[in-house]
A and B are shown apart, each in its own frame.
Chain A
């Protein structure tokens, strides 16, 4: 078990080192996320005021869009010098490599969310500090579900043609449950008076989806990535 987590840590450390040296993924993804929110605020502002109760939807759409972009870019980087093949050839458990990539992408997406959430709160007058801990947990659970499926699919698509368009085509229908639960749960927390019972219910559902998706992905990663 310690060997497993050591490999996970090595993969994560590798991704962090590469990212720290270029800041390419983080800077472009954060800026892309900001652009998405701006596009929504321009298209949804009616008579100079934001439409009510759209904040959770915009937040999650921005997360999904920038998450897809980050997934695509991360594995594009692994593809360029065929480093993913090198990673898979390493004498390491395949599931550990998957978890390592997953943690890396999850960290990146969380950093993006740290910028995204205040921005959405600012533009759409959402009370993001009413239930900060629960909001963070809901976002983390939703991002985990999204990235668990996304990491698997993006890794699978590395050698495929038209992967840019195939990733969202495959990923979005599969993660609709995560989107629904995420948006509903966030909406319950961002109400004028937060509805904790409903938020709790959707968080539980997100947790169940996370468990199913992570286990299924861990399970399929090895046979799918074998040539």
Chain B
């Protein structure tokens, strides 16, 4: 770990320790009261989920079309983060939906497409783990198709009529809610960047080690 990652780690840890107090201090929402506050974790998770998908897609593009073999480490790291933050999103979402809509899950366009995207990245990790040699390029192809799905995820709610709050909800937040929201957003962003860097570095070392083993055997 470099000095900058240690600083980021300390900062992220501090922010996540503070987050419950910041969220507690935010005003309650008029109709849903306390329940809406899961939004402060749900929304940043969802954003990091999509960011991870985009990072994986861009890195795949670099690997496949610009022939940058090191981009593969970024694909692996970002795809795993997509699974992680996707899981956060898909757990916090239904918790809120149960109280707000009365059901855990609806087959609404945005929920369905988020689940699809999550499944694609789970498929990626399975492919990496059990696909055997050569699966890095296959994975990159899959991640590229996964990124092509992101716009569908993002716009689907605006195109199809659904229950899910629209993406324009952020500007309509009350001033008292906006502060905690951006605080949590920043905390998630920091965590995401930190884990992405560390995981990419780990993947790079792993592939260097593999290359050394191969050189030793050959």
Describe B's contact surface by its main secondary structure.
helix
Q: How far is the CB of A80 from chain B (nearest CB, A)?
A: 18
Contact partners of A166 in chain B: CB under 8 A? 123, 126-127, 130-131
Cα A156 to Cα B149 in complex, Å, equals 20
Asked whether B138 lies within 8 Å of A220 as measured between CB atoms, the reply is: no
Question: Is A51 positioned at the interface, with any CB of B under 8 Å from its CB?
Answer: no
Partner of A224, one of B64, B126, B132: B64
Asked whether B127 lies within 8 Å of A220 as measured between CB atoms, the reply is: no
Cα A159 to Cα B152 in complex, Å, equals 31
Asked whether A173 lies within 8 Å of B64 as measured between CB atoms, the reply is: no
Q: How far is the CB of B48 from chain A (nearest CB, A)?
A: 20
- Interface extent on B, as a size class? 20 to 34
Instruction: Say whether, besides A220-B64, A224-B137, A162 and B130 are in contact (CB < 8 Å).
Output: yes
Partner of A156, one of B130, B138, B148: B138
Describe A's contact surface by its main secondary structure.
helix
Cα A28 to Cα B119 in complex, Å, equals 30
Question: Is B50 positioned at the interface, with any CB of A under 8 Å from its CB?
Answer: no
Question: Is A160 positioned at the interface, with any CB of B under 8 Å from its CB?
Answer: yes
Which residues in window 159-181 of A have CB below 8 A to B?
A: 159-162, 166, 169-170, 172-174, 176-177, 180
Question: Is A223 positioned at the interface, with any CB of B under 8 Å from its CB?
Answer: yes
Contact partners of B75 in chain A: CB under 8 A? none
Contact partners of B116 in chain A: CB under 8 A? 173-174, 176
Residue of B nearest to A157 (CB): B138
Asked whether A176 lies within 8 Å of B112 as measured between CB atoms, the reply is: yes
Q: How far is the CB of A64 from chain B (nearest CB, A)?
A: 15
Asked whether A173 lies within 8 Å of B141 as measured between CB atoms, the reply is: no
A residues near B (Cβ < 8 Å) are 149, 152-153, 156-157, 159-162, 166, 169-170, 172-174, 176-177, 180, 212, 216, 220, 223-224
B residues near A (Cβ < 8 Å) are 64-65, 67, 112, 116-117, 119-120, 123, 126-127, 130-135, 137-138, 140-142, 144-145, 148-149, 152
Q: Give me the 8 closest cross-chain CB pairs, A-B, nearest first.
A: A161-B132, A173-B119, A223-B64, A160-B131, A156-B138, A224-B141, A162-B130, A169-B123
